Amino acid sequence: MAKQVYFVQGLPEMGNAKNQNFISNAGFVITPKGVVVIDALGSPVLARQLIQKIKTMTQQKVVAVIVTHYHADHIYGLQAFREVGAVIYANENGKVYLNSDAAQQRLISSRIDFAPWINQHTKLIAADHWVKDRFKLMVGGVEFLLIRAGPAHTAEDLMVYIPSKKVLFAGDLVFNGRIPFVGNADSKSWITSLQQIEKLQAAIIVPGHGAYSTNPQRDIAFTSDYLRYLRTAMEPAARNLDAFDEAYRSTDWSEYEGMPLFRAANRMNAYNVYLSIQEE
Q: What is the mean pLDDT of residues 245-252?
A: 98
Q: Quick one: pLDDT at residue 150?
A: 82
- 3-class secondary-structure state, position 100: coil
Position 22, amino acid: F
Evaluate if residue 1 carries a pLDDT over 80. Answer: no
Which residues are bridge partners to 6 per DSSP? 28
Residue partners of 202: CB distance under 8 A and separation at least 6? 161, 166, 167, 168, 216
Element (H, E) at 244: helix 244-249
Distance, C-alpha 29 to centroid of its chain: 18
Evaluate if residue 73 carries a pLDDT over 90. Answer: yes
Query: Within 10 A of 103 (CB to CB), how many other CB atoms are there?
Result: 17
Q: Quick one: pLDDT at residue 2?
A: 86
Banded model confidence at residue 104, pLDDT cuts 50, 70, 90: very high
Task: Break the chain into its structural domains and give their ranges.
Answer: 5-215
Banded model confidence at residue 212, pLDDT cuts 50, 70, 90: very high
Which residue, 174, 167, 133, is CA-closest to 153?
174
Residue partners of 30: CB distance under 8 A and separation at least 6? 4, 6, 54, 57, 58, 60
The whole-angstrom separation of Cα 227 and Cα 270 is 9
Query: Within 10 A of 263 (CB to CB), how many other CB atoms are there?
Result: 10
Which residues are bridge partners to 5 per DSSP? 2, 29
Does the domain formed by 5-215 have CATH 3.60.15.10? Answer: yes
pLDDT of 30-39, one tens digit each?
Answer: 999 999 999 9
Banded model confidence at residue 122, pLDDT cuts 50, 70, 90: very high
Q: Quick one: pLDDT at residue 268?
A: 97
- 3-class secondary-structure state, position 138: strand
